[in-house]
Amino acid sequence: MTLAATPAPVPPDGGRPEPVEVDRAELLSHAAEAAHHSGEHARALTLLEELAADPSGPPACALHIRRARYLAAAGRSAPAEEEYRRVLESADCTPHERCTAAARLAELLLHLGRYAEAGDQAREALDLAAEVPGSTSEVVLASAALGFSEAFLGDQTAGLAVMRRALETAERSGRPEDVACAYLHLAELLTGPLNILEEGVVVARRGAERVAELGLGRTWETRLLAVATNGLFRVGQWAEAEKVVATALRHRPSGADAVELLLARCRLSVGYGDVEASDRDLEAVATVLAGGGARHVLPMLILRAGLAMWQGRHDLARQAVQRGLTESRSDDVIVLATLAWHGLRAEAEAAASRTVEVDQTAVRRLREVVERVTRKSEKAGPPVRYVADGFLALCDAELSRLDDGRGDPELWGRSATEWDRRNHPYPAAYSRLRQAEALLARRSRVATAGKLLRQAHATAQSLGAVPLSAEIRTLAGRARVTLDDAPPPAPVPRPRTAPATPAVDELAVLTAREREVLAAVAEGLTNKEIGQRLFISERTIGVHVSHIFDKLQVRTRVQATAIFLRNRPE
């Protein structure tokens, strides 16, 4: 990037204009920050490198902090942590710079699931802020991290009080990023460890509206809408979650913001059984995380394991789980319990299908993880322990499948009850399926098994959970249990219905080139064939197709083609 002096307008008398002095370092600084706020984090890092090479640029400590911010936003957590620690350890940095680094490091540790470290770092930041005038942003950031840490590790009331005060402080300061940060941490805490889902979704959506007003739509609003999507998914409002995802995708997020949203959408796709859409999102996430992003690795691997199991690839599910156990440094007992459940389920499914040998070493390791999570959750706050106990109930029940090949109906019944109490319909329906399976394997209480299958099927149908519905129907067919008179669902989620002749042109959101690409898709051409026809690279065609899917809010070429056919001129 080359920056030159900009000539002044020609004077009215026609004289020669005086050259205008341009501060190149200042322009680079503003350009880098603008790129960061618009979600172009890689571009921001490139501009920052140019700024660092400029002799008149900012001091080294300030550059380290900004580089850490951009790296964290791009999903590269490990180098971001190194940059912050460099500032904290440098005697050349000012008290304000060390305060800023401590507060931002606390936030980063929080995102990585290292809650105890995050709390300690947040306290250090608050101590530094007490000695530094004008450190409101650092107080907000550290308070949010401290509140989350305290609520997660034991004191829910105190932790929430700290976080709500952080939000009030942020609103008084009026700084957009302070407001966004406070809303995000509060929403993540409510929809995550504390399991106060309805309030958490409301906070996330209210926060998204607020930060949009403040001009942070592509970044912070996207992340808040991803939090809302996850909350809606967990309570079974999948259709509403899809609408929220579609709203967020209009911002075309990048970096860590895009990862949050893609993972949220992938949870829906895995639940629906849409393999193509799930694979596409997971590949996109893996590409972004190639340079780091430890915070998102475990959720990505959990989704990979869940998808692999619905595909009957229990070996791939095992690999994903074992990789997660190897790479994880997280203190998040809920995430670890979820990972352990997926691992035990993969081994139990392998044993039941006889397609893959059970890996006894993996099972032994998973048992150790369950024991460790049990010990850790006993020291966590009641809300955290409450959610973790639900996943531990699933783990115990899966272990019973491995131990005797049939499963313990009482353990599966307890799991279903646990998830009913938590208002999570999907794991409750799955538990009822397994409880019915265990009863039928023992040839006992067949009527009860039938009732359980009908309950599970009704829940799965209402969610649109195609793979779960199919497995329930398979077991019901073997047991000669009548579920209902409704026809079986399609193998992929149905596209949104529309009138035969749309009142508006649904293709109006597409560019002229995207319409050309979609027309070729409707002919059944591959990306390579479309590229040859339009003289564009296959990779570019893939980008166009991805944009078309996002704009039309579809997951497959079939769904996109249906919209094209009903909107094309006769």
pLDDT tens digit string along 449-481? 999 999 999 999 999 999 999 999 999 999 998
- What are the φ and ψ backbone dihedral angles of 237, each rounded to 5 degrees? -95, 70
For residues 517 and 137, what is the distance between their CA atoms, to the nearest angstrom? 47
Domain boundary among 268, 292, 316: 292
Split into its structural domains, the chain has a count of: 2
Residue with tokens 């997020």: 253
Domain limits at 264?
A: 174-292
Model pLDDT, residue 488: 45
What are the residue ranges in the chain where pLDDT is below 50?
A: 1-6, 291, 485-503, 570
Model pLDDT, residue 6: 47
Contact 208, 224 (CB under 8 A): yes
Q: Is 185 a domain residue?
A: yes
Q: Is 137 a domain residue?
A: no
Model pLDDT, residue 73: 78
Q: Is 282 a domain residue?
A: yes
Q: Is 24 a domain residue?
A: no
Residue with tokens 């980008």: 543
For residues 409 and 390, what is the distance between their CA atoms, to the nearest angstrom? 16
Q: Is 464 a domain residue?
A: no
- Closest C-alpha to 108, from 74, 150, 133: 74
Q: Is 269 a domain residue?
A: yes
Q: Is 468 a domain residue?
A: no
Model pLDDT, residue 39: 65
In CATH, what number is assigned to the domain containing residue 559? Answer: 1.10.10.10
In CATH, what number is assigned to the domain containing residue 260? Answer: 1.25.40
- What are the φ and ψ backbone dihedral angles of 256, each rounded to 5 degrees? -65, -30
Model pLDDT, residue 356: 83
Domain boundary among 258, 277, 292: 292
Domain boundary among 247, 267, 292: 292
Task: Give strand pairing partners of 7.
Answer: 19
Q: Is 259 a domain residue?
A: yes
Contact 77, 294 (CB under 8 A): yes
pTM for the whole structure:
0.72
- What are the φ and ψ backbone dihedral angles of 418, each rounded to 5 degrees? -60, -45
